């Protein structure tokens, strides 16, 4: 549904999989493959992330390795927009 | 006949899963999916569609080619960028405000009601189900919510069902207000997060404003025990009944991946026990 909206609005788009798990991503991967939609990022289904969020803390602040992943996505997006 | 609406304030709290499982526990009811912007209930319920009706809600400007003199005034006036370079109306961008129609020097533009969605009258294994699908980028979802909720009520009266259970939308906007119309009780599904509590407080202002009896369900309650306690204390202060707490369990995720309900998939789990307790308390409260 969301893809239909952005298609109609003719905006560039990509997918971020939230609460990603290896054995659960199949249907999303298949759909994105068929539609040719890039998967930009997978945020794992992790209790630590959920707990940080529950306190209102962005997990990139406490888990620095994720900072880089997000920066990559922002760069990617900038490239497409500019 | 009682009407119960499940809402959440915040998205992602598990409202639809809770509603679906309560449906299985309640049995013999009419279920309505009023989350028309993102309807998912049919994925869990797998209902058989018996009848499909088209729904006309929003308005859109329509151009009469013969009257149009290509003056371009409509394009200049439109705040939504809905008039293309060759002066055609982009139906997705058009908000139906009517400014172009009012100002058009040759009356070439007119506001017309457009089809904005579909309503489905279906049957699930727990009884009749009414659901809908809003067209892409369509507006007036509140009106469609009212229509779905009304249809569910009509069916309940016809078939003498005691309960209409409504899956509402997240947030506090127009579709939520529409789904609360005529409700005897609302169940608010929240989660122990800072935003969960903040959005609970906001949505409670809505239910209080309309004088609807609200019961709170804390989902994934063991995710943050401190905030769960905070929510419980808040409810106690405000004299709001807690219908129950549901612990986080990966079995729920597993069940959902298989498109199944936790009460069927894992009837012995703590989540199923919690849901049964909630349904019992809700049912008792309805009988008061």
CA distance B14 to B255: 13
Report the DSSP beta bridge partners of residue B30. Answer: B164
CA distance A42 to B135: 29
Domain range summary for chain B, segments of one domain joined by +: 2-46+125-286, 58-115
For B154-177, the pLDDT digits (tens) are 999 999 999 999 999 888 888 899
Which pLDDT band holds residue B140 (cuts at 50, 70, 90)?
low
pLDDT at B6 over 70: yes
Structural fold of domain B2-46+125-286: Rossmann fold (3.40.50)
- Chain B partners of A47 at a C-beta cutoff of 8 Å? 223
Q: How far apart are the first and last CA of chain A?
A: 26
The mean pLDDT value for B205-211 works out to: 94
Q: Does B223 touch chain A (CB under 8 A)?
A: yes
CATH architecture of B58-115: 2-Layer Sandwich (3.30)
- Chain B partners of A51 at a C-beta cutoff of 8 Å? 223-224
For B97-125, the pLDDT digits (tens) are 999 999 999 999 999 887 778 999 999 99
Q: Does A1 touch chain B (CB under 8 A)?
A: yes
Note whether B282 and B243 are within 8 A (CB). yes
For B42-62, the pLDDT digits (tens) are 999 999 999 999 888 778 899
Q: Does B227 touch chain A (CB under 8 A)?
A: yes
Share of chain A above pLDDT 90, in %: 62
pTM: 0.86
Partner-chain contact B136 A24, CB within 8 Å: no
pLDDT at B95 over 90: no
pLDDT at B137 over 90: no
CA distance B136 to B133: 9
- Chain A partners of B224 at a C-beta cutoff of 8 Å? 51, 54-55
Length of chain B: 288
Q: Which residue of A has its CA nearest to B134?
A: A1
Q: Which residue of A has its CA nearest to B192?
A: A54
């Amino acid at each position: 549904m969301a893809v239909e909206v952005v298609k109609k609005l003719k905006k560039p788009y990509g997918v971020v999989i939230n609460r990603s798990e290896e054995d659960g991503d199949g249907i999303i991967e298949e759909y994105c493959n068929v539609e040719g939609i890039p998967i930009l990022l997978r945020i794992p289904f992790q209790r630590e992330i959920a707990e940080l969020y529950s306190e209102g803390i962005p997990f990139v602040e406490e888990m620095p390795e994720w900072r880089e992943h997000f920066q990559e996505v922002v760069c990617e997006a900038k490239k497409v927009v500019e | 006949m009682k009407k119960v609406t499940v809402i959440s304030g915040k998205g992602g709290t598990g409202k639809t899963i809770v509603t679906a499982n309560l449906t299985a526990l309640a049995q013999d009811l009419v279920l309505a999916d009023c989350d028309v912007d993102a309807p998912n209930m049919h994925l869990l319920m797998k209902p058989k569609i018996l009848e499909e009706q088209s729904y006309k809600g929003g308005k859109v400007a329509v151009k009469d080619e013969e009257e149009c003199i290509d003056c371009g005034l409509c394009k200049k006036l439109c705040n939504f960028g809905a008039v293309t370079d060759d002066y055609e109306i982009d139906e997705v961008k058009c908000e139906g405000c009517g400014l172009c129609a009012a100002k058009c020097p040759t009356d070439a533009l007119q506001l017309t009601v457009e089809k904005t969605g579909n309503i489905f009258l279906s049957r699930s294994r727990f009884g009749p189900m009414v659901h809908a699908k809003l067209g892409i980028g369509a507006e007036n979802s509140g009106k469609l919510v009212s229509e779905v909720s009304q249809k569910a009520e009509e069916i309940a009266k016809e078939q003498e069902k005691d309960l209409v259970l409504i899956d509402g939308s997240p947030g506090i906007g127009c579709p939520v207000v529409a789904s609360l119309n005529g409700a005897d009780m609302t169940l608010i599904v929240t989660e122990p997060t800072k935003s969960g509590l903040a959005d609970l407080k906001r949505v409670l202002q809505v239910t209080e404003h309309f004088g609807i009896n609200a019961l709170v369900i804390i989902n994934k309650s063991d995710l943050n025990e401190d905030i769960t306690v905070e929510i419980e204390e808040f409810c106690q202060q405000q004299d709001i009944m807690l219908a129950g707490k549901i612990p986080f369990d990966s079995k729920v995720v597993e069940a959902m991946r298989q498109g199944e309900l936790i009460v069927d998939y894992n009837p012995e789990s703590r989540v199923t026990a919690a849901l049964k307790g909630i349904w019992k308390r809700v049912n008792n409260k309805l009988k008061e």
